[in-house]
Structure 1
Amino acid sequence: MPKLNLSTRDITQFLQPEHCTSTLEQKLSPNFARSTLRLTPSPYITEKALAKRWEKIGQFTDQDILLDQQTLQNASLYNKNIEHFIGTVKIPVGLAGPLRVNGLHAKDDYLIPLATTEAALVASYNRGAQLITAAGGASAMLINEGVTRTPVFLFESLIDAGQFVAWVVTQYDHFKRIAESTTSHGQLHDINVNIEGNHVYLIFEYRTGDASGQNMVTIATNEVFHYILENSPHTPEEAFLDGNLSGDKKANSHTLRHVRGKKVTAEVHIERHLVEKYLHTTPEEMSRFGQVTTTGAALSGSIGVNAHYANALAALYIACGQDAACVAESAVGITRMEVSKTGGLYACVTLPNLMVGTVGGGTSLPSQKACLELMNLHGNGKAKSLAEVAAVLCLAGELSIVGAFCAGHFSRAHQKLAR
């Protein structure tokens, strides 16, 4: 009998002899029986629809846990944020800080609300925040912003595609008027063209003001998209509103040199004695760790190099009403640590893909609004500040976790706080 390779052994441990052909067919075949768990037709939040949903699910769990009195009183506030509503989930929120930010837009000491169920996370960011503040704060600079939607048009030939592009490039001003007629916050900033054989991708880039802007740019681009289909002298054979070139909710390398959302870079200069006091290690050890793990990131095929931006961003996004799925793209970036000329530590982060807003989305829901208000970052004119704060928060987390690895404290902290 031929020797099984590892992947074959892995499969066979699940497909044991008792899973014979007839059993597999019985277990895995489609089941067309009518489900007893069908939801009410209406997805909206009404007293009647809510009661009917709980008639279905009340046997499985305690209604008061998900639909407490405060949630019930505020239920109508969620109508623009969710469908088939049944209640709310309470996630623990902790504070990290004070975090001193010396930014172009954010210039203050901040207490950062972080929503998470991961022990040791808030403690780690709190330590990094206090270190940054003790060092005089981190400098932060928002250097670019833009949110994209990328419709694609399919033609029979490259000739047709080329003629289509020749028409498109004459239409920018008209496209801009159409797109901006749909929004009070958004501005069409640029249109780029990508030709791939007989397919044409148009990259519509917007400035979205204080909103994160994914829905905004979708609605605006949809209007232009239909105008193109109705008025182009070169009719595509097929077309789709998005051709997956935008990077929406996906890690991608394009944004490392460009932008999606808000691009921020932040740095801090930390004297040696502060590294030793707060992190119990040395600038040399942290710099060396950065070099080794950069190689590790390259070997793993990582997009960018960072320790754990996703921890900070997921906790901040959930607390503050951001689209948590955007962490998939926002957590792309680069961390760098070096020994400074004076023997201290220089550390910086660059995040080109921060999808944050202070209006719209979930930012005005009761708990999420309260978290933004803790930082004085709710409402118009605050999104650029929130992006700079988010970047410095990531920097705090990078300092803390690298320090923990260098000092041999990483596992010990989790054992102490998670058990």
Structure 2
Amino acid sequence: MAAPHHRASSVLERLLNEGSVEEYAYRLAPKSHAFARIPREPHITAETVEARWQALAAPGERRERLLDAQTRAQMEAYQRNIENFIGTVKLPVGIAGPLRVNGLHAQGDYVVPLATTEAALVASYSRGSQLITRAGGCTALLLNEGVSRAPGFAFRDLIEAGRFVSWVLSQMDAFRAAAATTTRHGRLLDLRVTVEGNHVYLGFDYATGDAAGQNMVTIATEAVCRYILEHTPVEPQYSFVEANLSGDKKASALSFLSVRGKKVTAEVHLPAELVKAGLHTTPEQMVNYWRMSAMGGVLSGTVGVQGHYANGLAALYIACGQDAACVAESAVGVTRFELTGDGDLYAAVTLPNLIVGTVGGGTGLPSQRACLELLGLAGPGHAQALAEICAALALAGELSIIGALAAGHFARAHQQLARGSGKDA
């Protein structure tokens, strides 16, 4: 990543004014002196937590903010979710809604818990949700499901790689059986083969039930890889259980060619008078903004074209015990606004990578389960509904933020809610 000449020169001049080259060389060099070790006992007990706090030598007031009485009482609940445990961090939770969803799996009016420190976010999503509800709700449709893992195998040459692929294509039943030994809830669905020179990538797609499934598919694929290495007629030089072709925790063009997690689309028709009353603008201006922003997304090279899926998804994921890092891939998608023949607004979103679950992971933790219970989606049988609600929430957020931009209210809303009117805000 290049830095412009004038900027690089300015930074260098500032650094040399503050210190010598020798001083910076010492600061940046590796240091070999001893360091304090943090106790690494994996089990959460009062004794192990106490030992870590002793090692930290932190003031008691700081400790109390992270390890208050409620956290101490609930420590056992975090046993399978954290290492080197010292306490909990609290985030404010607000509710957006009601959000009416007319989906294959999600049906009804939902109040959506959102955990965030960003003022104006809950207000924006709540405004969009109420607008959708006044229009009779949005239609949401789960289109596809599957969580992938992509091991890679290296061979001496393309001939060996070809022989390996020929054998792999005859082994699907054996791969399914190997995967099935590791899980009662996951199921190997399909296999995609990618050859690049003497490298072979195998893309395994799994159904993961009501779990988000990241760990499930990793463990299942490890079992499949063991079977491959024990039975393949062509021994690879080396292999890895994940070779970075699955799209795990990153935005990629692969999103629009397949699915990772749950692929959902949602739409709503908004009468012009409702747009005017709820967003203080017109469908025409909303479409004008969408058209310009879509081109802006193309010019900036974004993966997909959307306004701010990550805002709502991150807040929902944190509140409901999802893997927050999966927002990196879940927030990929496309938003589309059109003017109907009657002058009303048609709005739609499609998100191909929603990694969500209602069992496993952080969904059983006390606060996170309470948030899922507020949605009526705690436990088995609800992951598909949660995915449709995620798409509906993303649609609500797109309507609200584009409405604010189209009406010229975007900066004012943040001034009022995020910064206040104080002189030092």
**TM-score above 0.5, yes or no:** yes
Q: 1:10 to 1:299 in 2, by over 3 A?
A: farther
2: distance between equivalents of 1:175 and 1:17?
63
Identity of aligned residues (%): 58
Query: Where does residue 217 of structure 1 map in the other structure?
Result: 217
Query: Where does residue 264 of structure 1 map in the other structure?
Result: 264
Deviation at 1:226, TM superposition (A): 1.2
Amino acid in the other structure paired with 2:128:
G
Cα deviation per residue 1:31-73 (whole Å; 9 max; x = unaligned)? 111113x111313212211110111225245222111111111
Cα deviation per residue 1:227-263 (whole Å; 9 max; x = unaligned)? 1112111000011111100010000011123210000
Deviation at 1:212, TM superposition (A): 0.2
Please provide the CA RMSD for this pair. 1.1
The alignment status of 1:133 with 2:147, answered yes or no, reads no
Contact 2:359–2:379, Cα closer than 8 Å, also in 1: yes
2: distance between equivalents of 1:140 and 1:131?
16
2: distance between equivalents of 1:349 and 1:383?
19
1: distance between equivalents of 2:197 and 2:14?
44
Contact 2:143–2:264, Cα closer than 8 Å, also in 1: yes
Contact 2:156–2:198, Cα closer than 8 Å, also in 1: yes
2: distance between equivalents of 1:207 and 1:81?
23
Cα deviation per residue 1:77-114 (whole Å; 9 max; x = unaligned)? 11110000011100000000000000000001000000
Query: Where does residue 230 of structure 1 map in the other structure?
Result: 230
1: distance between equivalents of 2:409 and 2:305?
22
2: distance between equivalents of 1:134 and 1:18?
60
Query: Where does residue 58 of structure 2 map in the other structure?
Result: 59
Tell me the secondary structure at the aligned position of residue 96 of structure 1.
strand
Query: Where does residue 70 of structure 2 map in the other structure?
Result: 70
Tell me the secondary structure at the aligned position of residue 15 of structure 1.
helix
1: distance between equivalents of 2:374 and 2:24?
55
Query: Where does residue 5 of structure 1 map in the other structure?
Result: 5
Tell me the secondary structure at the aligned position of residue 384 of structure 2.
helix
Query: Where does residue 286 of structure 1 map in the other structure?
Result: 286
Query: Where does residue 393 of structure 2 map in the other structure?
Result: 393
Amino acid in the other structure paired with 2:268:
V
Amino acid in the other structure paired with 1:49:
T
2: distance between equivalents of 1:271 and 1:235?
63
Which structure 2 residues correspond to residues 20-419 of structure 1 after superposition, within 5 A? 20-36=20-36, 38-60=37-59, 62-419=62-419
- Kindly tell me the number of residue pairs found equivalent between the two proteins: 415
Q: 1:232 to 1:340 in 2, by over 3 A?
A: same
Range moving further from structure 2, 367-376 or 179-188: 179-188
Deviation at 1:289, TM superposition (A): 0.4
Compute the TM-score of the two structures, normalised by the length of structure 1: 0.97
Deviation at 1:21, TM superposition (A): 2.7
Deviation at 1:6, TM superposition (A): 2.9
1: distance between equivalents of 2:58 and 2:209?
46
Tell me the secondary structure at the aligned position of residue 418 of structure 1.
helix
Compute the TM-score of the two structures, normalised by the length of structure 2: 0.96
Amino acid in the other structure paired with 2:224:
V
Cα deviation per residue 1:124-170 (whole Å; 9 max; x = unaligned)? 00000000000000000000011000000000000000000111111
1: distance between equivalents of 2:94 and 2:14?
41
1: distance between equivalents of 2:248 and 2:10?
34
2: distance between equivalents of 1:227 and 1:291?
51
Query: Where does residue 422 of structure 2 map in the other structure?
Result: none
2: distance between equivalents of 1:149 and 1:14?
47
Range moving further from structure 2, 61-70 or 375-384: 61-70
Listed as ranges, the gaps of 5+ residues in structure 2 are: 420-425
2: distance between equivalents of 1:76 and 1:182?
26
Contact 2:160–2:198, Cα closer than 8 Å, also in 1: yes
Amino acid in the other structure paired with 1:242:
E
2: distance between equivalents of 1:369 and 1:267?
28
Amino acid in the other structure paired with 2:53:
W
Q: 1:258 to 1:14 in 2, by over 3 A?
A: farther
Contact 2:210–2:384, Cα closer than 8 Å, also in 1: yes
Tell me the secondary structure at the aligned position of residue 48 of structure 1.
helix
Contact 2:40–2:84, Cα closer than 8 Å, also in 1: no
Listed as ranges, the gaps of 5+ residues in structure 1 are: none
Q: 1:14 to 1:44 in 2, by over 3 A?
A: farther
Q: 1:228 to 1:347 in 2, by over 3 A?
A: same
Tell me the secondary structure at the aligned position of residue 337 of structure 1.
strand
Q: 1:47 to 1:252 in 2, by over 3 A?
A: same
Tell me the secondary structure at the aligned position of residue 399 of structure 1.
helix
Q: 1:175 to 1:26 in 2, by over 3 A?
A: same
1: distance between equivalents of 2:15 and 2:129?
50
2: distance between equivalents of 1:13 and 1:349?
48
Range moving further from structure 2, 346-355 or 20-29: 20-29
